[in-house]
Amino acid sequence: MKISPKKLLEKVVSYLKKYDEFAVIKGGMPFLISWNEERIYIYVKTLSSAYFKNANITRVQLPQKDIFSKIKKLNVKFIFLGYDPDNEVFVAWDYDAAKRRLNQSCNVSFYSRAGAQLQAAQCRSFVHFALDNGDDVVSFKCSLLHRFLDEVDDLFQGNESLMDDFEIEEELRKEIDPMLKGTSVRVLEALQTMMRYYDSKNIKKTIKECSDLLMGYMESVQEPKMSDDKYRVEDCGITDKQFKDAFTAAGGWFFLTQYRLIVNFRLSRRELLRKLFEKGFDAEISGTETRLYGVQRIIRGGRSREALEKIRDSKKINKAHPQAKAMAEEILATM
């Protein structure tokens, strides 16, 4: 369903006009608003299928616009909203990440998930989920837009995209992007191009540094892979199946040994992920990220005690780790 920019602007205004904190400064798309005396640019597009094999994946695309180049230079937030008219739900991405990607190409894709959008329609709070490229995404009922604007800094605080670590110069990106697309990906050619580029700029980078940068960049821009339950819900609880899947994803021993660290960690999510990866549970950081989301999902679903009791009573876990029962009981005693 295609909805005109004018109608999308009217949609946003209809949900915010009753609040004194709100004012439209400049119409159009994107449009400039004031919320609690803070100026914010908002751009809204209708979500549609991404046309992948996984029908759960939806997306919106940011086109190139002259005004986006101006917005990138301004010290204002840029909030990109995807609108789901079937569920009357908005989807939002980290506003810093969205602003950085303005005008990076003709159409920059931002992905979402139909299942999370449906879940949001049934909740009275925010539904979080993650993409494999590190993007943290939030979906919520349109009627919660005022709360989203109030809480947006907290919702995305510390959830910087992992893409930041692999950001490369636009000039170089234009050269190597064609080599990394299509059915015949030319990684070696892209690596050689990258090394020549840095040599021409008198920037010292070893082959390993260039290789790590290229691999990270490729992973950060790939189309997202999402399992059926890889999202977390606030204040909505989780079903028995979701609990089982989250527990399996996390692993009982990982949950037990890292539970306190995850619950008490106060720095960014990215720092937490790196700290957990250094524990050596996984060969790839994506594996640790899957474990982390499993643990967080159980915690936010209010089923931490159940997970710890499951570990305490598990013959398999206790056979592999004889100290598991005592450790679980120690944590349970403090809950």
DSSP letter for each residue of 67-86: HHHHHHHSSSEEEEEEEETT
pLDDT over 80 (residue 7): yes
More confident residue, 163 or 207: 207
Within a domain: residue 119? yes
Q: What is the model's pLDDT at position 318?
A: 93
Q: How many whole angstroms separate alpha carbon 14 and alpha carbon 18?
A: 8
* 89 and 150 both lie in a single domain: yes
pLDDT confidence tier of residue 323, bands split at 50, 70 and 90: very high
Within a domain: residue 230? no
Q: What is the model's pLDDT at position 255?
A: 95
30 cis-preceded (ω within 30 degrees of 0): yes
Q: What stretches of the chain adopt beta strand conformation (E)?
A: 22-26, 31-35, 38-46, 48-49, 57-63, 77-84, 89-93, 107-113, 127-130, 136-141, 231-233
* 136 and 26 both lie in a single domain: yes
* 315 and 270 both lie in a single domain: yes
Within a domain: residue 106? yes
* 140 and 279 both lie in a single domain: no
Mean pLDDT value of segment 303-319:
94
Q: What is the model's pLDDT at position 268?
A: 67
* 187 and 274 both lie in a single domain: no
pLDDT confidence tier of residue 52, bands split at 50, 70 and 90: low
* 176 and 155 both lie in a single domain: no
Retrieve residue 281's tokens. Answer: 């549970």
* 103 and 53 both lie in a single domain: yes
Q: What is the model's pLDDT at position 155?
A: 81
The dihedral of CA 285, 52, 143, 297: what is its sign? Answer: negative
Within a domain: residue 232? no
Q: HSE of 291 in the Cβ direction (CA atoms, 13 Å)? A: 27
pLDDT digits (tens, 9 = 90+) for 216-255: 666 555 544 444 334 444 444 678 888 888 899 899 999 9
* 189 and 246 both lie in a single domain: no
Q: How many whole angstroms separate alpha carbon 54 and alpha carbon 245?
A: 19
Within a domain: residue 50? yes
* 289 and 315 both lie in a single domain: yes
Domain count, the chain: 3
pLDDT digits (tens, 9 = 90+) for 56-89: 788 898 899 999 999 999 999 999 999 999 999 9
Question: Which structural domain, as residue segments, surrounds residue 149?
Answer: 5-161
Q: What is the model's pLDDT at position 130?
A: 74
pLDDT over 90 (residue 258): yes
pLDDT digits (tens, 9 = 90+) for 131-174: 766 677 899 999 999 999 998 887 875 444 444 444 567 788 88
Q: What is the model's pLDDT at position 158?
A: 46
